[in-house]
A and B are shown apart, each in its own frame.
Chain A
Amino acid sequence: QVQLVQSGAEVKRPGSSVKVSCKSSGGSFRSYGLNWVRQAPGQGLEWIGGIIPLFTTTKYAQKLQYRVTINADDSTNTAYMELRSLRSEDTAVYYCARAGVRGELTVFFDHWGQGTPVTVSS
């Protein structure tokens, strides 16, 4: 059974960076796309970007592409999302989510991590 376990809550200052991890178990880590989605307090879902570890293919939302980096470590079945130059508007719960089709990135998400709250405040 696929499980995605994320790192813990973060509190950051404006202008700093945050790196959130997502460790996968129970499935083929390299063959499935791993995406990141965030949800600001009381708001809807926003796709950030994703990676297929097998191909090291990455894709980012245009709004965040210059501030975000997503990578993956095959040796530990862990994906990472780093967001730089943090602003108060980046305060959100950040989720990792696995793509539902092997070898694809831009599809539906069939497994989700538990979420990592990130608070940006001075």
Chain B
Amino acid sequence: DIQMTQSPSTLSASVGDRVTITCRASQTISTWLAWYQQKPGKAPKLLIYKASRLENGVPFRFSGSGSGTEFTLTISSLQPDDFATYYCQEYNSDFFTFGPGTTVDLK
């Protein structure tokens, strides 16, 4: 099975900060990676798929990059609505694996 890790597990930031979250896969997954945002009590929301493709309606301050085993999600200028938990998900294998999540909170 593919294992996914994320760093950091928690990130404290201020509005306007540039924020970067890293996701690593235990084996190469090409660009078969998605990023989701989840707020407390809500379902996850798709942000990025195929490592760098922005889902319709997602603000342009979100971007994704990477291939193989290392990926990043960047928020160029953190907004109040962006405080949430972010998960990466690989879909290279027949069985999905999510990362453990990164919580972005207010510094």
List residues of chain A with CB under 8 Å of any chain B CB.
35, 44-47, 59, 61-62, 95, 97, 100, 106-110, 112-115
Are B91 and A59 interface neighbours, CB within 8 A?
no
Are A107 and B43 interface neighbours, CB within 8 A?
no
| Cβ contacts A to B, 8 pairs, < 8 Å | A44-B98, A45-B101, A59-B95, A106-B91, A107-B91, A108-B89, A112-B43, A112-B44
Q: Mark B40-75, 1 if CB is under 8 A from A, else 0.
A: 000111100110000100000000000000000000
Nearest residue, chain B, Cβ from A4: B43
- Could you tell me the distance between the alpha carbons of A3 and B49 in the complex, rounded to whole angstroms? 20
Q: Which residues from B are CB-within-8-Å of A61? A: 95
Contacts A47-B96, A61-B95; is A108 near B44 (CB within 8 Å)? no
- Could you tell me the distance between the alpha carbons of A32 and B37 in the complex, rounded to whole angstroms? 22
Q: Which residues from B are CB-within-8-Å of A108? A: 34, 46, 49-50, 89, 91
Contacts A95-B43, A108-B34, A108-B89; is A44 near B49 (CB within 8 Å)? no
Q: Which residues from A are CB-within-8-Å of B50? A: 108
Which residue from B45, B95, B96 sits with its C-beta under 8 Å from A112?
B45
Question: What is the minimal beta-carbon distance from A111 to any residue of chain B, in angstroms?
Answer: 8
Q: Which residues from B are CB-within-8-Å of A115? A: 43
Q: Which residues from B are CB-within-8-Å of A107? A: 49, 91
**B83 near A: Cβ within 8 Å?**
no
Are B94 and A59 interface neighbours, CB within 8 A?
yes
Contacts A59-B94, A106-B96; is A45 near B34 (CB within 8 Å)? no
Are B87 and A110 interface neighbours, CB within 8 A?
no
Which residue from B43, B49, B94, B101 sits with its C-beta under 8 Å from A113?
B43
Which residue from B36, B43, B89, B98 sits with its C-beta under 8 Å from A114?
B43
Question: What is the minimal beta-carbon distance from B60 to any residue of chain A, in angstroms?
Answer: 18
Residue of A62, A95, A108 with most chain B CB atoms under a 10 A cut-off: A108
- Could you tell me the distance between the alpha carbons of A40 and B49 in the complex, rounded to whole angstroms? 24
- Could you tell me the distance between the alpha carbons of A61 and B50 in the complex, rounded to whole angstroms? 22
Q: Which residues from A are CB-within-8-Å of B34? A: 108-109
Q: Which residues from B are CB-within-8-Å of A95? A: 43-44
